[in-house]
């Protein structure tokens, strides 16, 4: 309100009150007056109400806010949205006139005033920040890069023959593009490494100027503010060079206003040599939104020339923002901010220093860089790849640590035709990867503390040879754990327990040969795991089973043995959703250099077998036979010392064989079961008192005598063999007395009746029924003669002797077996070698001899594809042999001890397989056939 309005107000409200009000207003106006008079940043910051009063006053001076104004031009400062109008304090006309950004607009006295005042206040601030002799500046509504381009374009008129801009390298794309956009070819001058610092190679700059010829050089384009370990350019020397060769010098002072050191460099440069213009960003130095820069210089005419170069008008926003900010802060406030920043730089440097020491790293020594710091990441270096470094970067980003950049080694980038090796590091071959953090204006103590804390959590790098259980559990919030390049040899079970948030685990370049089975238990959040470059040959099965969140697994650089031990890993590679690196095989020979990832099978089946004692039955025995009835598995054991035929049943619950019934008798030598339709019989052969057949009675759950066998010709039964020919059931009793006759009995629906007498007077030891080339045969082995072969005659329904097996005296047992359809015989001999024969070309041919002194039994049996031979011995260990399919021979497999073994009988419960070995002098032993998985 003006004085007139105040006096009118006095009629309404008390005079003294109004006077007080008008005095208060005068206070505001006085501040405005000072600003208009001096054009300087007020020492003390204005209140927001003074700022708003001032802006409103300015706005009222623009035609768009005139009362009763009628606009008929094409630009009348019309704004559709009230919100937008208010956002700009109704200063809508922008700044400049076509052709000059600094020119006054007749329609917008307020905006023009704002523009002039802003430039003036900003110049004042530049001066008080250190460039005392700055002569002129203006705010451009473009960020640093474009503002630099504008400077270069302005120089074009002055240096029409210039094509190059000589530029000490700084890996900041906008700086590079600023030159290319202006149509110039950047001549990149590499920095020199001095200690940790990357510094301007002034001599190289001069060489370039000389080589190109000063006239072809548009300017030298130097930089002050930059990321450590690069430090501000040697502005003084460059300025001197520029003066010497009469070449313009443009300084990129992007965020250098906040540092007295950077500003001092520019001031000194201008004093001793040539600085034509220096450009700084508004946002980075004055905490305003991105969008503006200040172009400043020491020659007012040149700065004006640049402002005239700008085509058309421009947004007033950046000017408005910086003016509001500077008026609000006041020179004192801004200087305070700068002092705080400096303090924070020391604090950050100190905190980063302690962090570095704790992690075996160091803060790079870059005393010439006043804003940015760098900490080495040597421990993340790995073997030439930067994965860990980059992972740390992305992790920090997701942990909301913004601005802390990680700089890997050896990154290459091509910009505008120029290839930068070691891009981001300002150097072709900086020796270490590192991490940057900056103490820029506005940074708070909390920012530093939090950043260092999060970094600490992300960076654990120790020197251990062993990771013990729960070794890091005191660091519960750990998200990244780096254990690279240690001398780790062992990871114990639960090594990482207590780290529920761990996402990245790197254990590269250590000495690990394997890991404990539960090494990674509990790491449910782990997304990245690297065990690259260790000495891993094999890993325990299901090592990664707990890693539900795994995205990437690196197993490169190890020496995997792609044998059975790798089998589980091979299958896991097929099923996991994680991306897994190549798993290269170092062995066995045939696998060398191949990728486990591509394999679908390994050369061997990766299982072995064993026989372990399952149960011992406290009874001697001569024979064991097995049968199945109503899904239950039974065995019948001829137990002479208890004068019985012990019937045992497999107990599915207790998982052992238990006594079911006892068929008592006298001098029992053989118990043979036969199941005919639903009838279960046990043929009991006795030395005395005749032989009998017992039948199972379902109701009583026991065996009852069913029939006496006609034994007039049997005197010393030695073996019973049951079989079927063309649907008819038979059994043979081999008689081993001189006076006896081996006899064939046939089932006739009522009982077994003798059918044929066989082989008189030869002391038969064993009868074996077998199919040879589709025909039923019977082989009888005898004490006094080579084995004889009978063939079944269909016409006479009798066995007819067909021949014998020559040179095979004194055979105590004969058993047949097949391997892949091929027929073999196992001949047991008590004296001399036992023999294996193969049926081929119409005769049995010996293929292997097994030393067998004192053997009463050589029993073949098979479990799935594995064929065994058990060779009993009365004097020493019994041997189990295993069929070698390649050699077509049996190889020794295992020794078992049984006293005087008389038979080996395979009993299978469906799920489990057993071998019953009868013993004439000790307990009947039950061995279980077990399969051992060799893949870890």
> What are the residues binding ligand PLP (CB under 6 A)?
143-145, 170, 172, 174-175, 223, 225-226, 252, 254-255, 281
Tell me whether residue 349 is exposed, middle or buried, using C-beta atoms within 10 angstroms of its C-beta: 0 to 12, 13 to 18, 19 or more: middle
| CA 391 – CA 13 distance, rounded (Å) | 70
| CA 732 – CA 778 distance, rounded (Å) | 9
Closest contact distance (angstroms) between CB of 165 and ligand PLP is: 14
Q: Which is nearer to ligand PLP, 222 or 509 (CB)?
A: 222
Q: Which is nearer to ligand PLP, 281 or 686 (CB)?
A: 281
Give me the residues paired with residue 407 across strands: 434
DSSP label at residue 802 = E
For residue 171 the two structure tokens come to 């890996």
Closest contact distance (angstroms) between CB of 366 and ligand PLP is: 15
DSSP label at residue 474 = T
Alpha-helical regions (H) of 67-143: 82-87, 109-128
| CA 767 – CA 834 distance, rounded (Å) | 17
Closest contact distance (angstroms) between CB of 403 and ligand PLP is: 10
Q: Which is nearer to ligand PLP, 279 or 507 (CB)?
A: 279
Q: Which is nearer to ligand PLP, 169 or 381 (CB)?
A: 169
Closest contact distance (angstroms) between CB of 126 and ligand PLP is: 17
- E strands, 597-708, where? 607-617, 623-629, 632-639, 644-651, 656-664, 668-676, 679-686, 692-697, 702-708
Q: Which is nearer to ligand PLP, 264 or 359 (CB)?
A: 264
> How far apart, in Å, are the Cα atoms of 873 and each of 610, 640, 765, 827, 925?
20, 20, 17, 14, 15
Closest contact distance (angstroms) between CB of 153 and ligand PLP is: 16
Q: Which is nearer to ligand PLP, 170 or 452 (CB)?
A: 170
Q: Which is nearer to ligand PLP, 32 or 277 (CB)?
A: 277
Closest contact distance (angstroms) between CB of 387 and ligand PLP is: 27
List all residues 6 or more positions away from 794 whose beta carbon is below 8 Å from its beta carbon. Answer: 726
Closest contact distance (angstroms) between CB of 103 and ligand PLP is: 25
Q: Which is nearer to ligand PLP, 232 or 273 (CB)?
A: 232
- E strands, 416-498, where? 418-421, 434-438, 466-467, 480-482, 490-491
Helix-then-strand count for the chain, H and E: 16, 51
Closest contact distance (angstroms) between CB of 183 and ligand PLP is: 18
Q: Which is nearer to ligand PLP, 174 or 628 (CB)?
A: 174
H/E segment holding residue 604:
none
Closest contact distance (angstroms) between CB of 223 and ligand PLP is: 5
Please give the angle made by the CA atoms of 798, 800 and 806, to the nearest 5 degrees.
150
Long-range Cβ contacts of 179-186 (<8 Å, 24+ apart): 179/148, 179/149, 179/152, 179/221, 180/415, 180/416, 181/145, 181/146, 181/149, 182/148, 182/149, 182/152, 182/153, 182/156, 183/153, 183/156, 184/152, 184/218, 186/221, 186/416, 186/418
Crossing angle of helices 202-212 and 235-245, in 10° steps, is: 20
Closest contact distance (angstroms) between CB of 146 and ligand PLP is: 7
Q: Which is nearer to ligand PLP, 422 or 787 (CB)?
A: 422
Of 405, 394, 578, 377, give the one whose Cα is nearest residue 484: 377
Closest contact distance (angstroms) between CB of 224 and ligand PLP is: 8
Separation of first and last alpha carbons in the chain: 92
Q: Which is nearer to ligand PLP, 223 or 458 (CB)?
A: 223
Q: Which is nearer to ligand PLP, 374 or 674 (CB)?
A: 374
Q: What is the DSSP string of 821-867?
A: TEEEEEEEESSSEEEEEEEETTEEEEEEEEE-TT-S-EEEEEETTEE
């Amino acid at each position: 309100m003006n004085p007139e309005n105040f006096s009118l107000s006095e009629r309404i409200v008390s005079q003294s009150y109004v006077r007080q009000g008008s005095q208060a207003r005068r206070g505001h106006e006085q501040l405005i007056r000072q600003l208009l008079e001096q054009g300087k940043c007020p020492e003390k910051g204005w209140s927001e109400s003074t700022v708003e009063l001032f802006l409103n006053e300015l706005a009222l001076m623009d035609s768009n806010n005139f009362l009763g104004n009628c606009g008929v031009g094409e630009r009348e400062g019309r704004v559709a949205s009230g919100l937008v109008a208010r956002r700009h304090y109704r200063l809508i006309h922008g700044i400049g006139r076509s052709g000059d950004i600094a020119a006054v607009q007749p329609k917008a006295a307020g905006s023009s005033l704002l523009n002039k005042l802003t430039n003036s206040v900003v110049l004042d601030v530049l001066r008080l920040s250190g460039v005392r002799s700055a002569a002129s500046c203006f705010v451009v509504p473009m960020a640093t890069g474009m503002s630099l381009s504008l400077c270069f374009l302005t120089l074009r008129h002055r240096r029409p023959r210039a094509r190059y801009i000589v530029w000490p390298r700084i890996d900041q794309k906008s700086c590079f593009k600023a030159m290319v956009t202006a149509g110039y070819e950047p001549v990149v001058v590499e920095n020199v490494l001095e200690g940790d610092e990357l510094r301007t190679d002034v001599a190289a700059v001069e060489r370039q100027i000389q080589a190109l010829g000063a006239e072809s050089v548009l300017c030298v384009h130097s930089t002050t503010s930059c990321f450590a370990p690069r430090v501000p350019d040697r502005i003084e020397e460059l300025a001197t060079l520029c003066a010497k060769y009469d070449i313009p010098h443009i300084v990129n002072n992007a965020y250098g206003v906040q540092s007295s050191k950077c500003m001092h460099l520019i001031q000194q440069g201008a004093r001793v040599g040539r600085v034509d213009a220096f450009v700084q960003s508004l946002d980075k130095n004055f905490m305003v939104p991105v969008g503006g820069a200040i172009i400043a210089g020491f020659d007012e005419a040149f700065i004006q020339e640049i402002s005239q170069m700008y085509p058309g008008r421009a947004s007033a926003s950046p000017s408005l923002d910086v003016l509001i900010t500077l008026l609000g802060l006041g020179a004192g406030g801004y200087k305070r901010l700068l002092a705080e920043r400096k303090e924070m730089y020391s604090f950050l440097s100190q905190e980063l220093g302690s962090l570095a020491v704790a992690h075996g790293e160091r803060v790079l020594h870059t005393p010439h860089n006043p804003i940015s710091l760098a900490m080495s990441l040597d421990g993340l270096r790995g073997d030439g790849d930067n994965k860990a470094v980059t992972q740390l970067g992305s992790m920090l980003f997701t942990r909301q640590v913004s601005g802390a950049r990680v700089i890997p080694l050896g990154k290459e980038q091509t910009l505008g035709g120029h290839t930068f090796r070691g891009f981001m590091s300002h150097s072709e071959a900086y020796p270490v990867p590192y991490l940057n953090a900056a103490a820029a204006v506005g940074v708070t103590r909390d920012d530093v503390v939090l950043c260092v804390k999060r970094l600490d959590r992300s960076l654990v790098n120790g020197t251990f040879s062993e990771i013990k259980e729960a070794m890091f559990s005191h660091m519960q919030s750990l998200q990244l754990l780096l254990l690279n390049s240690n001398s780790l040899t062992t990871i114990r079970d639960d090594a990482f327990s207590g780290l529920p948030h761990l996402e990245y685990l790197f254990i590269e370049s250590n000495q690990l040969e394997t890991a404990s089975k539960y090494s990674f238990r509990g790491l449910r959040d782990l997304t990245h795991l690297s065990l690259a470059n260790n000495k891993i040959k094999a890993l325990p099965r299901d090592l990664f089973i707990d890693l539900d969140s795994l995205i990437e697994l690196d197993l490169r650089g190890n020496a995997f043995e792609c044998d059975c031990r790798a089998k589980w890993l091979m299958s896991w590679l097929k099923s996991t959703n994680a991306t897994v690196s190549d798993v290269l095989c170092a062995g066995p020979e045939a696998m060398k250099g191949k990728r486990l990832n591509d394999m679908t099978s390994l050369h061997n089946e990766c299982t072995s077998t064993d026989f372990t004692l399952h149960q011992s039955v406290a009874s001697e025995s001569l024979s064991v036979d097995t049968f199945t009835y109503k899904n239950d598995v039974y065995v019948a054991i001829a137990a002479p010392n208890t004068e019985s035929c012990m019937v045992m049943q497999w107990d599915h619950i207790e998982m052992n064989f238990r006594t079911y019934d006892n068929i008592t008798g006298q001098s029992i030598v053989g118990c043979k079961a036969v199941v005919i339709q639903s009838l279960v019989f046990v043929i009991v052969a006795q030395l005395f008192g005749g032989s009998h057949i017992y039948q199972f009675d379902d109701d009583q759950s026991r065996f009852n005598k069913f029939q006496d066998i006609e034994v007039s010709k049997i005197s010393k039964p030695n073996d019973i063999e049951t079989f079927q020919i063309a649907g008819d059931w038979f059994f043979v009793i081999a008689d081993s007395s001189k006076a006896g006759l081996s006899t064939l009995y046939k089932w006739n629906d009522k009982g077994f009746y003798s059918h044929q007498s066989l082989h008189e007077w030869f002391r038969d030891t064993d009868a074996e029924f077998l199919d040879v080339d589709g025909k039923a045969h019977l082989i009888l082995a005898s004490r006094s003669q080579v084995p004889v072969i009978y063939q079944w005659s269909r016409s006479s329904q009798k066995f007819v002797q067909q021949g014998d097996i020559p040179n095979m005296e004194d055979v105590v047992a004969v058993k047949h077996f097949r391997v892949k359809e091929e027929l073999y015989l196992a001949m047991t001999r008590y004296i001399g070698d036992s023999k294996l024969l193969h049926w081929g070309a119409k005769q049995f041919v010996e293929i292997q001899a097994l030393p067998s002194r004192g053997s009463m039994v050589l029993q073949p049996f098979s479990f799935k594809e594995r064929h065994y031979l058990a060779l009993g011995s009365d004097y020493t260990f019994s041997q189990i042999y295993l069929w070698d399919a390649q050699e077509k021979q049996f190889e020794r497999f295992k020794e078992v001890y049984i006293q005087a073994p008389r038979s080996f009988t395979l009993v299978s419960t469906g799920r489990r397989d057993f071998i019953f070995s009868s013993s004439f002098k000790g307990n009947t032993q039950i061995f279980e056939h077990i399969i051992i998985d060799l893949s870890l």
